[in-house]
Structure 1
Amino acid sequence: MQRKDFLQLSAMGFGALMLPNTNLLANDISASDFLAPNIDVAIKKQLADAALNTAKSKGASYADIRINRYLNQVVATREKRVENVANSESFGLGVRVIANGCWGFAATNDVTKEGVAKAAERAVAVAKANAKFSDPVQLAPQKGYGEVSWKTPIQKNAFEVPIKEKIDLLLNVNSEGLKNGGNFVSSSIFMVNEQKYFASTDGSYIDQDVHRIWPNFTVTKIDKATSKFETRNALCAPMGMGYEYLIPQDSEKLKSGNLILYKNRYHMLEDVRQAAEQVAEKLKAKSIDAGKYDLILDPSQLFLTIHESVGHPTELDRVLGYEANFAGTSFLTLDKWRSKTFNFGNKLVNFVADKTQRNGLATIGYDDDGVQCSNWDIIKDGILVNYQTIRDQAHILGLTASQGCSYAESWSAVPFQRMPNVSLLPGNDKVADMIKNTEKGIYMLGRNSYSIDQQRYNFQFSSQLAYEIKNGAIVGMFKDASYQSNTQEFWNSCAAIADKNDYRLGGSFSDGKGQPSQSNAVSHGCATTKFTGINVINTGRKI
């Protein structure tokens, strides 16, 4: 087990502390309280107007307010027992203004007209104080949308599903894992609902209802003769969906050799049965010989390489050096973009940023600047063509509008640039043909340990499962395999991309950035992809 996995799984006992959008002002509540309605939209509008009018009367040239309610639930089990059920709610507002050309921000959980007015006054005072030390803010133009709404297109609200039903599912998962050879099995479901209201002096009043879900498990098997053990985590992705994600449909299965993979719906019981068999195989697997291999990477593994080597380095604040303390800056400097010829990858490689992608974790109707979300090219035919921006960054690229990448993890946090869904467009190949045309390779599935440097360039990634490909066929399992490359070399080695039928989402439920640190959720779509001549090392060690 990797250290990060140990920390993650042991932390399940703390329940709500693992959940995104949980802050010090969150309250523990009962599950039934989740179904209590939020305050009426008409009342939110009255509160918003009180804040906006106060800010303008105190000298603000622009103001916005976010009145947000966050609901979080985690259900965690291990073997035959329930480890934890944690429910939390956080409710409050944040007011942001521009006064004397500078940003100011203040937040409160006093959601009354008096409370919002005081927050607006404080925000203006902060802006005026900051203005003595800051350059003027340049906001991209933004029309007001009037009163609009958006909701994640869920079929079944996860918070309406009884806790007993969730516990029964997880205990069945554990039972199947044990029955099929696992010695230890832990499982969990994390659920988030963001009820967000945004209003601004531009004339927008935006009400949104955002849902996310993340089921997970870990199966561990021990070789009693040697005391060695192997693990395998769930191969599913967290999704911007409701509880329907956990209601299987046969049409959502994909087959790759003897493996059953999942698309849009998740067969948790079936996955844990496979996992129990695979950890037994991993215990007997041969350790890899270091060298050059062709890699065939399943979306459950490749999404993380996309996140680290494409998503983060195309964040404009990293490029500009505004973001450096949390995981570094970016090698994709503006001169590379201005050249219009920078070879990020070969012509097969096309990356799109998309805040509208169905089931995406970063998918929403409008961002925390009140900008309607859309999609745009980042890498086109292998060439760097764009970045990720928000309203006060757009002028740097000569853009006339923001790309809608503003997000704050809670009502008490300041919005800043966060990653949209960043995805590799599918190609026209078949996974079976990729395998058949590989003489010496590795087929890798599932995220595992990784490392990348402070400019998002040199990296190393491993996987949950690694299968040896020899002379066009899968012949067994490897262990201790980790691939090394640099971003430009790696994406120029792309040799084939599977078609849209294989395209799936992966994602991170909790991606950290900023100081003070904030967390957001983001998805990365891709199909199975082949890379040639990649350096693979053996990470095993003798004790």
Structure 2
Amino acid sequence: MLRRDFIKMSGAGVGALMLPIYGNAVAADILGTKIDVALKKRFADVALNTAKKGGASYCDVRIGRYLRQFVITRENRVENVVNTESMGTGIRVIANGTWGFAATSDFSEDGIAKAAAQAVAIARANSKFQGEPVQLAPNKGVGDVSWATPIVKNAMEVPLKEKVDLLMEVNGQAMKAGADYINSILFLVNEQKYFASTDGSYIDQDIHRIWAPTEVTAIDKASGKFRTREGLSAPMGMGFEYLDGKPAGKIALPGGAVAYSSSYNMVEDAVAAARQARAKIKARSVKPGRYDLVLDPSHLWLTIHESVGHPTELDRVLGYEANYAGTSFATLDKWRSKSFKWGSDKVNIVADKTQPLSLGAVGYDDEGVKTKRWDLIKNGVLVNYQAIRDQAHIIGEKESQGCCYADSWSSVQFQRMANVSLQPGGTKLAVEEMISKVENGIYIIGDGSFSIDQQRYNAQFGGQLFYEIKNGKITEQIEDVAYQIRTPEFWNACSAVCDDRDYRFGGSFFDGKGQPGQVSAVSHGSSTARFDGINVINTARSLG
């Protein structure tokens, strides 16, 4: 099914969410099946042996099966249900010190051998233009191993009726609570990935992810004004147990509780969204100025992603992404100084591909490197970047940091963002206590529109919900809020971070990068954090 056809069939709501559609349409019962591991290993050996005979000094093979299910509803009807499967083999080699890559959907020994030979031929052709040979950090083979997302309930195997009933309940309750329109969606992902390499690894992984986005709209029929509030679910590396509806990390706000962690009450959030969207219509517009901001994890994840995650990707720092997705202000001289103050001493940010429940959690990356956790910013100081096997030597690392990824068997793997997260504060501090110490501030929940420059230095962020804080108390819901930052100034203004009781994930399936463009799934964890004296603008006035 072509993407344009899917958007046409499923309505404007899904088009706005930019869900990635690729692969062949399949029956739902196909989604719960797997390919025999012995068959995948046999095919992998065909590729490895062919590449070595052709003169490759290194080869890795990725046999991928990518499954998706989309259940899309609006108000009292199902708009569409789509099940897709994409399957094939990607083969990467080094020959004459140069990378070569080829892929095939021909699931036969002959087809895979031809792709391996083509990858070697491409590497040889590319080597004529190679300035210096690839330096690949060592990676010891692990033999035959497997890893799987630790799910309780495979979402692909849950009956469609149960999924539709849930979404109809969500929509019905939101309409009763004051919504005029609601879109609700289930987006389910299963990546079945087999990796083999001439290093001696044969790694079978079964990765599951889930997302339940909603968009609620309320209209004031007298004035014609309308407002929306998107759902506050975070996409997660979990099974259908994510929707068990057990809320966590709640805080009392006008319109209902809105904060969730490892379990998500979709109905409760939709009801709160309906009430809050209607309240937005009557909410007063913010007065521009300097405010202390209290940022909920459902909002802060995006600021972390854009102002920390991207500028610490080593390929951006080196200028490899300059033509498309930008560079980074965090140049190597800042890292070499060992003293560049990215933020206050409250700011400790780690990269971690092992975090349970996160979108980026896998056992091994797409180079067969065992994933790990490492510091990016320690006590406010830049201490490291995100690097893969052919970049590690540039920053003196003896091994890859395990953050290489491709979004399909047909795409070549390259450096992608790990889960990048702000660590909780070390002192016991609840959200209510943090708010009680703010004299003139704004509490922001949920991510909204944003803009950031190519070096990830100057930026502006909106949100979903905004609450005025006066003399330690939340007074009222307000509207039209966005704040402007310069990355180091913003993070140096971080004066407090709540403890680990408040730690939650946000994230995205759609972190875009590269040419041709690829997307990756990544989470960003944090507890609620305070930033002092941040410039807030009125977006209604900014628009004229």
Give your verdict on TM over 0.5: yes
Are residue 45 (structure 1) and residue 41 (structure 2) matched? yes
Question: Shift in Å at residue 12 of structure 1?
Answer: 5.1
SS of 2:156's equivalent in the other structure is helix
Question: Shift in Å at residue 506 of structure 1?
Answer: 0.4
Q: TM-score, normalised by structure 2?
A: 0.95
Cross-structure match for 1:133? 129
Q: Pick one of 96, 104, 109 that aligns with 2:105.
A: 109
Cross-structure match for 1:302? 300
Q: Pick one of 243, 246, 259 that aligns with 2:243.
A: 246
Cross-structure match for 2:437? 437
Cross-structure match for 1:512? 512
Change (3 A) 1:14 1:316: same
CA distance in 2, matches of 1:338, 1:297: 31
Query: Alignment RMSD, CA only?
Result: 1.7
Question: Shift in Å at residue 255 of structure 1?
Answer: 2.5
CA distance in 2, matches of 1:13, 1:308: 24
Q: Is the contact made by 2:216 and 2:229 (CA closer than 8 Å) also made in structure 1?
A: yes
Q: Which amino acid aligns with 2:279?
A: E
Change (3 A) 1:194 1:12: farther
Cross-structure match for 2:286? 288
SS of 1:131's equivalent in the other structure is helix
Q: Which amino acid aligns with 2:436?
A: K
Q: Is the contact made by 1:313 and 1:456 (CA closer than 8 Å) also made in structure 2?
A: yes
Q: Which amino acid aligns with 2:110?
A: E
Are residue 488 (structure 1) and residue 485 (structure 2) matched? no
SS of 1:75's equivalent in the other structure is strand
Q: Is the contact made by 1:502 and 1:527 (CA closer than 8 Å) also made in structure 2?
A: yes
Question: Shift in Å at residue 226 of structure 1?
Answer: 1.5
Q: Which amino acid aligns with 1:133?
A: F
Q: Which amino acid aligns with 1:53?
A: N
Are residue 153 (structure 1) and residue 153 (structure 2) matched? no
Cross-structure match for 1:474? 474
Change (3 A) 1:122 1:204: same
SS of 1:178's equivalent in the other structure is helix
Equivalent pairs, count: 532
Question: Shift in Å at residue 37 of structure 1?
Answer: 2.6
Q: Pick one of 359, 369, 373 that aligns with 1:361.
A: 359
Question: Shift in Å at residue 14 of structure 1?
Answer: 6.8
CA distance in 1, matches of 2:18, 2:39: 32
In structure 2, runs of 5+ residues without a counterpart are 1-6
CA distance in 2, matches of 1:12, 1:226: 24
Identity of aligned residues (%): 61
CA distance in 2, matches of 1:128, 1:14: 42
Q: Is the contact made by 1:256 and 1:432 (CA closer than 8 Å) also made in structure 2?
A: no
Are residue 371 (structure 1) and residue 374 (structure 2) matched? no
Cross-structure match for 1:62? 58
Change (3 A) 1:424 1:14: closer
Superposed CA offset, 1:24-58 (max 9, x none): xx1100101112332x1111111111110110000
Superposed CA offset, 1:39-84 (max 9, x none): x111111111111011000000000100000000100100011111
Cross-structure match for 2:3? none
In structure 1, runs of 5+ residues without a counterpart are 1-5
Cross-structure match for 2:217? 220
Cross-structure match for 1:237? 234
Q: Which amino acid aligns with 2:298?
A: S
Cross-structure match for 1:207? 204
Q: Is the contact made by 2:325 and 2:514 (CA closer than 8 Å) also made in structure 1?
A: no
CA distance in 2, matches of 1:506, 1:223: 31
Q: Which amino acid aligns with 1:118?
A: K
Are residue 349 (structure 1) and residue 347 (structure 2) matched? yes
CA distance in 1, matches of 2:382, 2:136: 25
Q: Which amino acid aligns with 1:125?
A: A
Change (3 A) 1:70 1:12: farther
Q: Which amino acid aligns with 2:457?
A: Y
Q: Which amino acid aligns with 1:416?
A: F
Cross-structure match for 2:187? 190
SS of 1:212's equivalent in the other structure is strand
Superposed, 1:257-268 pairs within 5 Å as: 257=253, 259-260=256-257, 261-268=259-266
Question: Shift in Å at residue 256 of structure 1?
Answer: 4.1
Question: Shift in Å at residue 254 of structure 1?
Answer: 2.1
Cross-structure match for 2:462? 462
